[in-house]
Chain A
Amino acid sequence: MSSFLQKLAQGLASFGFSCILLLFMMFLVWAGTMEQVDHGLYEVQKKYFDSFFLVHRIGPISIPLPGVHLLLCLMAVNLTIGGILRLRKSWSRAGILVAHLGIAMLLLSGFVKFWFATDGHMTLFEGENSAEYQSYHLWELAVIKSSGDTGTAVEYLIDGNVAREATPSDPIRFESGQIPFTVSVQEWFRNSRALPKGPMFDVPVPVVDGYFLQAQPPEKEAERNIAGCYVRVQDRSGHTTEGILWGLENYPFSVEVDGEFWGISLRKKRWPVPFDVTLEDFRVEFHPGTGMASTYESDIILKEGGVERPINISMNEPLRYRGYTFFQASWGPQGSRPTDRLFSTFAVVQNPADNGPLYACIVIWIGLMYHMLWKLWKYYKSQRREMQS
C-alpha cells in the first residue's frame, strides 16, 4: 500500500504530470479564447474556465476534456508535492522554491476569489444614494410585503441559481416561515421576452392575464439576458394564483393572502454594503475635439454611523473600504449632452483575497529573479573560463 502511495505521490509530483496539465491548460485557454468570438465571455467562462469537465466539439466529433477548474486543483497538488515538498532544498534551487510558493499563493487567491467573492455594480444618478450593489448576471426572486405604514420590506429571497433548474415537469417549490404561502417556480427562461398573446396564434407556454414568455437565444454579452419565469403561489387554504415574472418588469407580481398584499419580483441579485453611498457629482472630460473620454470621476459621500466622508473615485483609483472595493467602471446615458443628468456606474467587489495576487507577484518575481541571475552568473563564469582556456 505504501508503495502504491509512494508511486502515486511520485506520479502526481512528476514533471510529466506538470507537462500534461499545462498542455491541457494551454489547449483550453486557446479554445476558450477563440470561442469567445461567437459565444461571448460568460458562456465560454462557464464552459471552459469554471468547470470540472466539458465536452469540446471539433466539427462532428465530441471530445470530453477536463475543465480548467479541475486542472487548477490538480496543478495545486502537483505544485505542492513536486514543486515545494519534494523539491531538493539547496541554494541553487531556492529561487524555484520561492517562485513555486508564489504560484501556490496565486492559486490560493484564485480559489478564495472563486468561492467567496461577490461582484456586481452600483449605478447612481447624481444626487442618488444606495447601500447595496447588484449582480451583472445572477437573478433572485424577492418576496416583498407591502404595508401602508412602513412602505415595503423584503421578507424572503429565492436564489435564481436554484430556481433556474425548474421545468414544467419538475417545478421547484419554495416555502418559508416568513411568508404565509408557497412559491413554485414552474418554468425558468434564461433569456426571454414577455409578449401579449393575440387571438391569431397559439403558444406552447401558459398564458397569464393575456401575456406569455417567449424564450430567446442567450445573448453574447450575458448581462443583456433578461430572465423570466412562471410562478404559482399557493396559500394555506390551497388557493393558487398563477403569475409571470420578467426581469424588465417595473412592478412586482402582486397577490393578496389573508387580507395582506404581497409582491414578488424577479430582479438582479443584490448584496447590501454596511454603509451608504451618495453620488454628489460626476465629471467626464474628453480629449479636445474628439468623443473619446480622457478621464471620468465621481465625487461620493460615504455615510456610516452618522459620519459623512467625501471621497473621489476615478479610473484606476478605486475606493477600498471595509473589504469592499468600488471602481469607476462606466457612465451614461450614452450620447448625453453636457446639460443632461448623468449616472455613474461603480463596479463593486468584495474579495477576501483582494491583494493576494500582488503579494504572490512579488514573491514570484523574487524567486524567478534570483534563479535567473544565479543561472546567468554560472553561465557567464563558464564562458569566461572557456575563453581563458
Chain B
Amino acid sequence: MKFPTLRFALAWWVLSLAPVHAQHDDHEHFHGSPDQAPALRREAWAPEVLKLAASIPVQDGGRVKPLDTFASFAMLKMNGKRRVETPQGEVLKPTAWILDCLLFPAQASHYPHFLVSTWEVLDSIQVDRTGKEKRDHYSYAELSRGRDKLFQLAGQYSKIEEKNRSPVENQIVHLGHNILEFEALIDYLEFARRPLTVNSSQGLKEVFGDASTESLSVVLSRMPDLYEMAKSLQADGEAAPEEERTALFELLQRVQFTAQRAKMIRMLPPADAEEPEWRTPFEVAEQAYMTGEAPSREQLAMLAGLEQMVGLSASPPDFQKALESFHQKVRETSEARDEYSKIELEVLFYKGDFIYRSLAMFGGAFLFVALGWLMPRVKLLGWAALGFNLVAWGTLVAGITLRCIIRSRPPISTLYETILFIAAVGVLTALIAEWINRKKVGLALASILGMVLLFMANKYEVKEGVDTMPSLVAVLDTNFWLATHVTIIVTGYAAGLLAAVIAHVYLLGKLFGFRKGNKKFYKDVSRMVYGAICFGLLFSVVGTILGGIWANDSWGRFWGWDPKENGALLICIWQLIMLHGRLGGYLKDHGMSVAAVFGGMVVAFSWWHVNLLETGLHSYGFTAGLKRSLFTFYGIECGVMLLGWIAWARQSLRIQVVK
C-alpha cells in the first residue's frame, strides 16, 4: 500500500486545523446499545440464499475459503458446536447464523451461542446465572451486563502465560476473545447502516449535489473531489471559511469512524492479481482516505453491494437479488485471480459432514458386531457389520480425498489430519486382517478404532476451534516430504495403535474368560499383534529416517534429538525391544500383548505428548490443553497392563496347581 506523502500531509492538515468539538463519541457503537439496530428477520432464510451466501469467498488465515467455513469455525470457537437454537426455537447452521450476525445484530445478540463451562466464570464477571446449568450457553445480551468486568479480568489474565493460568482464568480470557470477535462481527456492516451526512457546507454540496446523506461507497468514489477541496482550503490558508474546514473534517473523520469497525472479514478481492491481500471495507476506506484517490471500480461495486444487501435485508426477495449480484461480483474477481475453483468443493465438504457420518456408521458397525456376539449364529449380522464398516471407511476416505483436493496437499499436514489418516489406515489394516483370518476380531476392532478416533477428531476440532485446513509454515511447504515422511510415520503410529488395540482383546479376553480354553483363538490374536508390530516397525523406522533426511534438507542436520524426533525413535526402539524380546524368548504371547499395550502409550507420547512440551524445532505442531486427557489415557492403559498381568499370574498359578 503506497501513501503519497503530499496527500497524507494534506489529510493530516485538514485534521489538525479542525476544531476539537468535532470529535465523535467513541462509545457510539452498536454493542453499547443493542436496541438501536432496527431490523428483525421475520422469516427463515431461503435455501437459495443460504446456498449463495455459503459460497461467498473470503480471505482468512492466509487462504481464500467459503464464508460458510469462516462462519463454521467462528461458531465452533464460541459455541462448541456448529449449530445454535434461537430463543424462537429455530435451529441455525453456520451460514444462517453469520448472516444474522451481520444483518440482524439485535436479533443475533439474543442467540445463546457463548458456551461457558463453569459458573465461576459468570460469578467472576457478575452475570446472573439463575436457571442455568453449570455448563451452559449464554447470549451476548446476557453477558453484556458483565462486559466491562470481563474485559478487565481477561486483560489481567492474558498477561499470565497460558500454561500457568487456572482453568477459570483461561475460560475468562477465551470468553473475552469470543465477545470481541462477536462484536467485530455484528459491527462489520455498521458502515452500511449509517449513511454519511454530505450537505453540511456549500463545498460539500458542490461535490455531492442535493443529497443530504450518501453511502460510504459513494463518498469514497468522490474522494478525488474531496481531495481537491482540501487542497483549495489549504491554499486559502487562514482565509478559508471555518465551516468548510469543519464540514470536510467531520466527513473525513466520519468515513474513518464508520469504516473502522469493518475489519473482521476480508471480503473484497483486489482486481489486480499481483496484490495478494484481499481488503476489508476498512482498508478500502483507509487507502482512499490516505491517498485521496477513489478505490477501484470493482471494489466500489462490491462495497456498494454490501450496502445494498444491508438496505434490502428486510425484504427477502430483494435481498436475494442483492446477494446474487454481490456474489457474482466477488466470484468474478476471485475467479480472475484463480482463487475460486475450490470454494464450492469446500462448501460441499462441510455440508457433506463426511467425518461425522463416518463416525455414525462405525457406531452402526459396532452395534452389529455386538449383536453378533449375542447371536453368533446369525451370519447376517456379520455381513451387516462388514457393510457398515466398509461404507464408513469409504466415507472417511472420501472426506480425506476431498480435503487433499481442496488443499492441493497430501492427506496429512496438520495434527487434526493425522487423526483422520490414522483412523483410515487402522480400519483398513483391521479389515485386511479380518479378510485373512475371518475371526471377527478385525471387524470389531475396525469399528472400535473408527469410532474412537473419529470421536477424538471431533473433540479436537471443537477444542481448537480453528480452521483445520490452515496455511502452512514455510518448512512444511513441500508436498514431497508431506507425502512421504509424514504419511509413512503416521502409518507407523496407526500400526502401533492397532497392535495395542488388538492386545486389549487378548488381555481382557483372558481376564474375563472370553472364549475360554480356545487356545487357537488367542494364538491367532497374538499373531495379529505380532503382525501389526512388524508392519508398524517397517513404517516407523523408514518414516523416522525419512524425517531425518527431510530435516537434513531443511534444517541442516539429520538428527537433532528434538522431542518430535525422539518420540518417533521411541516407537522404533520399543517395537525393536518387543521383536527381539520375542525372538529371544523373553516375551511370549501374553507378554507381547502387555508390551503392545505399552507400545500404544509410546505412540500416544510421540503423537501428542511431545507437542505439549513446547520445545524444539517442530513448533508448528505444538498444542496445549491435552495433558489431562493424555494422563487419563496413560492411567487407563496402565490399568489394562495391570489387569493383563493379573490374568497372566492367575493362569500361571493355575498351571502350577495342576502340576
Contacts and interface: CB of A to CB of B under 8 A. Distances in A.
Contacts of B61: 287, 289-290
Contacts of A49: 561
Interface stretch (A182-190, A270-278, A299-307, A373-381): A373-381
Interface stretch (A3-11, A15-23, A148-156, A209-217): A15-23
Nearest to B61: A290
A33 B473 contact: no
Interface stretch (A37-45, A160-168, A169-177, A232-240): A37-45
A327 B554 contact: yes
A170 B282 CA distance: 69
A318 B570 contact: no
Nearest to B283: A289
Given A14-B584, A327-B556, A289 B615 contact: no
B277 A289 contact: yes
A40 B59 CA distance: 38
A289 B266 CA distance: 9
Contact of A41 (B558, B570, B615): B615
Given A287-B62, A290-B61, A364 B541 contact: yes
Contacts of B370: none
B18 interface: no
B474 interface: yes
A289 B278 contact: yes
Contacts of B527: 379
A19 B566 contact: no
Contacts of A85: none
A215 B278 CA distance: 52
Contacts of A19: 577, 580-581, 584, 586
For chain B, give the interface size range.
Answer: 35 or more
A37 B549 contact: no
A41 B560 CA distance: 9
A357 interface: yes
A30 B570 contact: yes
A212 to B, nearest CB: 34
Chain A CB within 10 Å — which of B478, B566, B580, B605 has the most? B580
A347 B437 contact: no
A368 B62 contact: no
A106 interface: yes
Contacts of A264: none
Contacts of A294: 62, 471-472, 474, 477
B535 interface: yes
A347 B556 contact: yes
A241 interface: no
A354 B551 CA distance: 12
A69 interface: no
B556 A316 contact: no
Contact of A292 (B60, B62, B558, B559): B62
Nearest to A106: B545
B115 interface: no
A329 interface: yes
Contacts of A379: 436, 527, 531
A119 interface: yes
B587 to A, nearest CB: 9
A220 B548 CA distance: 24
Nearest to B276: A288
B427 interface: no
Contacts of B555: 327, 329, 347
Given A315-B475, A358-B549, A22 B278 contact: no
Contacts of A365: 538, 542
Contact of B438 (A286, A293, A318, A387): A387
Interface in B578-624: 580-581, 583-586, 605, 610, 613-616
Interface in B24-64: 59-63
Contact of A361 (B549, B553, B586): B549
A104 to B, nearest CB: 14
A29 B570 contact: yes
Interface string B534-546: 1101100110011
Contact of B478 (A45, A316, A349): A316
Nearest to B560: A41
Interface string B433-471: 000111000000000000000000000000000000001
B538 A372 contact: yes
A36 interface: yes
Given A15-B581, A41-B561, A289-B266, A119 B574 contact: no
Contacts of B146: none
B321 interface: no
Contacts of B277: 288-289
A32 interface: yes
Contact of B569 (A23, A29, A358, A371): A29
B580 A33 contact: no
A113 interface: yes
Contacts of A372: 534-535, 538
A218 interface: no
Interface string A172-209: 00000000000000000000000000000000000000
A357 B552 CA distance: 10
A380 B558 CA distance: 38
Given A19-B580, A110-B559, A347-B555, A316 B586 contact: no
A345 to B, nearest CB: 11
A293 B475 CA distance: 9
Nearest to A41: B561
20 contacts: A15-B586, A19-B580, A26-B570, A26-B573, A29-B569, A33-B563, A33-B566, A36-B613, A37-B613, A40-B615, A110-B559, A288-B62, A289-B62, A316-B481, A327-B553, A347-B556, A349-B557, A357-B545, A375-B531, A379-B527
- 3 residue pairs, one from A and one from B, having the closest CB atoms: A287-B62, A15-B584, A347-B556
Given A15-B581, A383-B437, 12 more contacts: A32-B566, A40-B615, A287-B62, A288-B62, A315-B475, A315-B554, A316-B554, A327-B555, A349-B557, A361-B546, A364-B545, A380-B436
